[in-house]
């Protein structure tokens, strides 16, 4: 072996999540696209944050930036893109996600490295990846035309809870 971590090592999975979340935040901060496209992209960010939170929740204190993001995501569920509070809530979500990526995320990766053997990290990474593949998720708006609608978990009231429950169910843990 060349000393690099396998693609399914949990630390690699979590670090990849952080990069993906950061890119989505940047895309939203650019402010391009119609309000409906921004709403779709915000829903995609929410889906990615939920997926990441479920994967990371065993290693991070739940009272941090992801808990703040969770409250903002729940508020955003029922807000239309033309409503004045949409951009305010979205900005708060982006700030919470960025703080997590910058501060809590690296600590979570460090905790995984400290508490899990390389074999266990590989096992956990495979479990997280399998759970994500088994649970329906919301694609990036640019990919929505490439995925059958029946396979997508559409947003709306209760979306955060439904996504979290689907991911936990796919992982075989209680919701």
- The closest alpha carbon to 76, from 86, 68, 66, belongs to 86
pLDDT band at 108 (very low <50, low <70, confident <90, very high): confident
Whether 29 is covered by a domain: the verdict is yes
- Structure-model confidence comparison of residues 81 and 173, the more confident one: 81
- Number of H helices and number of E strands within the chain? 7, 0
The whole-model pTM stands at: 0.73
Whether 161 is covered by a domain: the verdict is yes
Whether 57 is covered by a domain: the verdict is yes
Residue pLDDT, tens place only, 19-71: 999 999 999 999 888 888 899 899 889 988 888 887 777 666 555 677 888 88
- From first CA to last CA, the distance across the chain in angstroms is 38
Residue pLDDT, tens place only, 146-156: 444 333 444 44
Helices 105-115 + 118-134 axis angle, to 10? 130
Sign (positive or negative) of CA dihedral 148, 150, 151, 154: positive
Whether 3 is covered by a domain: the verdict is no
Whether 50 is covered by a domain: the verdict is yes
Identify the residue whose tokens are 């889906």.
47
Neighbours of 50 (CB within 10 A): 27
Whether 156 is covered by a domain: the verdict is yes
Determine the structural domain holding residue 38 and report its residue range. 10-171
CA 87 to chain centre: 19
Residue 6: per-residue pLDDT: 59
Residue 31: per-residue pLDDT: 86
Residue 18: per-residue pLDDT: 92
Into how many domains does the chain fold?
Answer: 1
């Amino acid at each position: 072996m060349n000393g690099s971590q396998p693609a399914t090592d949990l630390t690699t999975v979590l670090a990849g999540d952080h990069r993906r979340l950061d890119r989505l935040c940047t895309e939203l901060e650019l402010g391009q696209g119609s309000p409906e496209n921004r709403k779709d992209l915000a829903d995609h960010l929410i889906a990615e944050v939920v997926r990441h939170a479920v994967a990371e929740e065993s290693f991070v204190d739940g009272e941090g930036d992801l808990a703040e993001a969770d409250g903002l995501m729940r508020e955003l569920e029922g807000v239309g893109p033309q409503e004045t509070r949409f951009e305010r809530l979205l900005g708060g979500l982006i700030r919470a996600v960025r703080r997590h990526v910058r501060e809590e995320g690296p600590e979570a990766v460090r905790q995984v490295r400290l508490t899990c053997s390389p074999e266990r990290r590989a096992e956990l990474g495979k479990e997280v990846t399998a759970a994500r593949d088994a649970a329906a998720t919301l694609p990036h708006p640019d990919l929505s035309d490439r995925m059958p609608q029946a396979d997508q978990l559409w947003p709306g009231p209760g979306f955060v809870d439904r996504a979290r429950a689907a991911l936990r169910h796919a992982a075989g843990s209680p919701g």
